[in-house]
Amino acid sequence: MEVIPGLWHAGPHHLNVRLRQKLVFFVPAPRRGIFDLATGGCTRKIRVTMTDGFLTCGVRLGLGWLALAGGLVFAAAPVVENRASPSAVVQAVGLDEARWTEGFWAQRFEVCRRVMLPGLGRLMEGTNYTQFFRNFEIAAGLAEGRHRGAPFNDGDFYKLMEAASAVYAVTGDPDLDRNLDRAIEVVARAQRADGYLHTPVLIAARNGDTHAVPFRDRNNFEVYNLGHLLTAACLHHRATGKTNLLAVARRAADFLERAFAEPTPELARHAVCPSHYMGMIELYRETREPRYLALAKKFIALRDLVASRGEGGDDNQDRVPFLDQTEAVGHAVRANYLFAGAADLFTETGDPAVWQMLLRVWTNVVERKLHVTGGCGALYDGASPYGSRDQKVITRTHQAYGHDYELPNATAHNETCAAIGNVLWNWRMFLASGEARFLDIVETVLHNGFLSGASLDGTNFFYTNPLRVTDPMPVDLRWSRTRQPFISSFCCPPNLARTLAEAAGFAYGKSSNTIWVALYGGSSLTTTLDGPGRVRLVQETEYPWSGRIRLKVLEAGSSPFALKLRIPGWAANATVRVNLGPVQNTSAPGTFFELQRRWTAGDVVDLDLPLFAQRLEANPLVEELVGQTAVRRGPIVYCLEGLDLPEGVRLSEVCLPDEAELRARFDGRLLGGVVVLDTALVARKAAPWTGALYRELEPARLEPVKTQLIPYFAWANRGKTEMTVWLPRR
């Protein structure tokens, strides 16, 4: 049989094949069913059997085009395959079920597909800056040389493979399929016979280093890399139906099972940036192999082995026992990956102690440690627990959550990967609970602190995402305030690419007879529900620039179902109409509004989320922000760039009076087309500071200044300039 790539669809299934004797194709779960077989205008019933993930039809036909339909709901390609997770309230939809069609997110998906993914592919296959793919070639014996690059470069390459798999799930691009197969062949050849796969160690051993053995250095990121391998392999398997990368992942997982059979405390401390929690649970979901779920539980439990001996620290979240955590501490990427993995664990086990811990930490982040842009991990360097009486337990932290209300602006770190980890965590919290408050965080991060990590053209990247940039800066910081094509720590760009490629999967969820509309943007959904069967929707909107959203039902199945529309936490006075009928008030902000009815093709739902510029203020315990204000319109946070100030006016001299009007205006020629906020600031002209720390207060000389605020995600796309999110009020 020859399968034509890219024609996998959810629901009643149509698969284009050239059939010779027996039909065999992959589906993720073993099942049985009766199908209609249609070929050449003739339809007949056939019985099919699926075992070990393969479907076999014992029929003989001549060459021709085959269509299968009926009886069985085929798996799509979700990023999180939680349909069988006992404690999941909402099921993720597949990337071939939900897709962006037009507007804001469709444009960004296209930049990812056309520019970012190919550009990262060229960079990672080349050797100009460092080595990614070449390291695998050397480890496989296909090239000579030494390992170059960071120890986590393997994991970054796996992220690129996941991004390519996600784009393939949507587009069916045969070039992506071929490139993935070529990369997988080399990765598989590099893998050791026992399943171990980490190119720094493999290359050193190949070059004669007798000290090159696994797990000598906890900061060598071996398990982190393998976690991204597992995640990439699962999505590749769902997107393509191929088992080549999944086989590599299973061998790696089996190696980890043997390696951690009797772990020492030192071995237990190899949970640096623990992507392997999510990866191992996803591998269990994909294969239904109980050993993998048991290993994921063991990995998380091992953290207590470190804490109980007093050998852990807050930078890696292992100073206190896992379930005793009450706040987010230390390295923000490590923390967010830990909490995302724990949320996955909860959906499989239903352990209430895990959920209560997650809620405690989540509340701490949202109420005390989250920037208005959704950025987190505000500190370059710090110490935790802050000011502890027991100084022996204080740990040096970096790229870290600080203490409560410690949210600097000019020196904010806010790594792009931390923002992505925050999305992964909150998306899983939503799937586990069905609560809209977690999606409010997902939406804020995606539209602001995540999207700012890449230039609008998809070619340059931020590692950190500050909320204020001045000239000069108050301190010399180690990461650039301009986006770069390459960053020595290159974890963020491929992470950005995979998240952009997968973002449509966050737009919807489903349960037995419910479709959850989680994020807004021009999109379509084709899926199946238990009762109604096949359902097709399209979403038409200019969101986030406009709050008017229209949902059209194209196919409605055979029985009633519910549409749950998320009402964002910022959206007061939202209204809805069905088929242009009476206007209804929706539920409160930060909840879902449910429409339950017998839908028919042609039904229309109009949701209106009033958009207006809102001034925000911070808790007065955030000392840097006392007397300052930020501006948000819908999910978009705004900033002021120095380029938009008149000649001779500096960022440090302006304020935003409470009475200043903020007028929204769409500018299609600016920054790819954005809504700007026209306003009038007040500039307080003052004498230059000449090295003094304090001086006598001078009388204010105030001048009006007309300017515009732009979306934060789009700053630094017009050249080097000053920027601030927060402005003094008067």
pLDDT number for residue 33: 37
- Worst-scoring range by mean pLDDT, 20-24, 277-281, 319-323? 20-24
**Distance between CA atoms of 106 and 112, rounded to whole angstroms?**
10
Share of the chain above pLDDT 70, in %: 90
**Distance between CA atoms of 292 and 284, rounded to whole angstroms?**
5
Residue 446 dihedral angles phi and psi, to the nearest 5°: -60, -40
Q: Give the confidence band of 311 by pLDDT, cuts at 50, 70, 90.
A: confident
Q: Give the confidence band of 3 by pLDDT, cuts at 50, 70, 90.
A: very low
Q: Give the confidence band of 48 by pLDDT, cuts at 50, 70, 90.
A: very low
Q: What single letter denotes the amino acid at residue 20?
A: R
412-426: average pLDDT: 97
Count Cβ neighbours within 10 Å for each residue of 386-412 and write b for 16 or more, e otherwise: eeeeeeeebbebebbbbbebbbbbbbb
**pLDDT over threshold 90, residue 118:** yes
pLDDT number for residue 270: 83
Per-residue model confidence as pLDDT tens digits over 675-684: 999 999 999 9
Tokens of 238: 């769902």
Q: What single letter denotes the amino acid at residue 461?
A: F
**pLDDT over threshold 70, residue 5:** no
Per-residue model confidence as pLDDT tens digits over 150-163: 999 999 999 999 99
- Worst-scoring range by mean pLDDT, 229-238, 344-353, 678-687? 678-687
674-698: average pLDDT: 91
| The CATH number of the domain covering residues in 98-506 | 1.50.10.10
pTM, to two decimals = 0.90
- Half-sphere exposure (Cβ direction) of 436: Cα atoms closer than 13 Å: 20
pLDDT number for residue 717: 97
134-161: average pLDDT: 97
Per-residue model confidence as pLDDT tens digits over 243-300: 999 999 999 999 999 999 998 888 888 888 899 999 999 999 999 999 999 999 999 9
**Distance between CA atoms of 17 and 4, rounded to whole angstroms?**
6
C-beta atoms surrounding 5 within 10 Å: 18
pLDDT number for residue 689: 83
Tokens of 270: 């190899």
**Distance between CA atoms of 10 and 83, rounded to whole angstroms?**
14
The residues facing 91 across adjacent strands are 510
Helix, coil or strand: residue 332 = helix
Domains 98-506 and 508-608 share a fold: no
The residues facing 190 across adjacent strands are none
CATH number of 508-608, picked from 1.10.10, 3.30.2010, 2.60.40, 2.60.420: 2.60.420
Nearest 10 degrees: Cα torsion 289, 294, 297, 299 = -90
Q: Give the confidence band of 686 by pLDDT, cuts at 50, 70, 90.
A: confident
Q: Give the confidence band of 73 by pLDDT, cuts at 50, 70, 90.
A: very low
pLDDT number for residue 384: 94
Cα 659-664-668 angle, rounded to 5 deg: 150
Tell how strand 67-69 and strand 508-511 pair up. Answer: unpaired
- Considering only residues 181 and 65, tell me which one the structure prediction assigns the higher pLDDT: 181
What does the mean pLDDT of the chain come to? 89
Q: Give the confidence band of 475 by pLDDT, cuts at 50, 70, 90.
A: confident
**Distance between CA atoms of 416 and 46, rounded to whole angstroms?**
51
**pLDDT over threshold 80, residue 561:** yes
C-beta atoms surrounding 558 within 10 Å: 10
**pLDDT over threshold 60, residue 2:** no
DSSP calls for 381-417? EEEESTT-SSGGG-EEEEEEE-STT---STT----HH
Q: Name the residue ranges covered by the structural domains of the chain.
A: 2-75, 98-506, 508-608, 614-690+697-728
pLDDT number for residue 50: 39
